[in-house]
Amino acid sequence: MIGIEKSKKKLTIELLDLDKTTQNTLKFFFKSNLCRSAELNESSEKPDVLILDNERGINDKIIANLAANNQHAVIMHMPNNIPEKSDNVCTLCKPIQAKKLKDIIQSINKDDNQIENSETKILKEPELKPVHSIKNIHSANSHIGMAVKSDTVQSIQNRYKAHKHVGSNADINPNNLKELDKIYHTPSKYIYFHLARATKHAHENKSDVKIKTVYGNVFYEYKTKLFHYGFDKTKLKHIQASPLFAQTDCSYITYDQNKPHRINLSSQDSLSLIWSSAILASKGRVPKGTNLENTVTMKSWPNYSNLMVFRYVIQISSAWSNHQLSLIETAKQLEIPQRYVFTLYNAMHAIECANISDKKIKSQKINRRNQSVLSKILSHMFKKK
């Protein structure tokens, strides 16, 4: 379970798939002074508490997964249809009574505040030496420039607010077994694992694939290399970050986009969806069993012009392409927090751009004096014709 800081940090609340009237009511509740111990989640970070409606497709399997993964949730229900409770899942009878909801939120906040906040301390990050900016980058790739631009005083002070991609885990000692648990996750619990598996099976068998999840179906069309789904952007981000997919099934189908229930589905390129899903699932962690001290083998450069990027991806990628470095040594030599390295590796591994060598090889020292990291990456990505 993730602790909440003892400085009475507010719980973050996410309203998931509620009807408009209920959603507006709860928005007013959390934005007013009625509940001062919680606020609506404004980022793609995993929320502390989900609020769901039992009448909108919530079943026992979803509730069991919430409980198994220590995700706090409040499930609203009708008087004659009461869902199961657990240590992490509370129930709230409709119509909503403000006092009862407030009591539930305060109870969750009280429980979480009893957990030591050592894992949630904001540590000052080491400053990376500035990288000179590059002019004349095409506007379509401006997000890459943002990923490599020099730190400003303001960005250093506010960086803890921008951990939506890499989380906020402190560096760990790889020789301490207790600390290793903090940076490992189980891929099969996250949607990115099943998206990647579906694309592999689809191309091996030259067939479209249906991915059946607790939130609904995702379709993969192997000829177009597109995923099709019926989620809006907010729900999709929550799905990508949620560890609720251990029971996910894949089956071969013939995808017909003209079927009535598929006409209005959203579509996304397979690599970009797997990539972003792996980042949001990782939050500074790597797949369970990943060797942190063997060297990273980088098979190919990801096409960053089409992918979500975050700070230091350019420096890390350049280091891996030119040196034999372990995950731990990469962070150490670049003088950056480990969570950036772990998150990038998780995403690159998900799209088969990188893996870990079977053999432990002595890490090479990065020669910063002779290497311009930014020009190195741009030479790969924007070669002049």
Which sequence spans correspond to the domains of the chain? 11-119, 139-186+288-381, 187-278
Token pair, residue 35, equals 């509940």
Interstrand relation of 49-53 and 11-15 (parallel, antiparallel or unpaired):
parallel
Residue 178 region by backbone torsions, left for phi larger than 0, else alpha for psi between -120 and 50, else beta:
alpha
pLDDT for 2 equals: 38
pLDDT for 65 equals: 75
**CA-to-CA distance for 263 and 261, rounded, in angstroms?**
6
Amino acid identity at 5 = E
Kindly report, residue by residue over 306-347, the tens digit of the pLDDT.
Answer: 898 888 888 899 899 888 999 999 999 999 999 999 999 999
Residues 6+ apart with CB under 8 A from 290: 184, 327, 345, 356
Inter-helix orientation angle 191-205/233-241, to 10°: 90
SS3 93: strand
DSSP-assigned beta bridge partners for residue 210: 219, 251
pTM: 0.60
pLDDT lower than 70: segments of the chain: 1-8, 43-45, 111-163, 257-258, 260-261, 363, 366-385
CA–CA distances in Å: residue 220 to residues 170, 201, 266, 322:
37, 10, 12, 35
pLDDT for 189 equals: 92
Kindly report, residue by residue over 141-184, the tens digit of the pLDDT.
Answer: 445 544 544 444 444 434 443 467 888 888 999 888 888 889 99
pLDDT for 267 equals: 92
pLDDT for 226 equals: 94
Could you tell me which CATH class the domain 11-119 is placed in? alpha beta
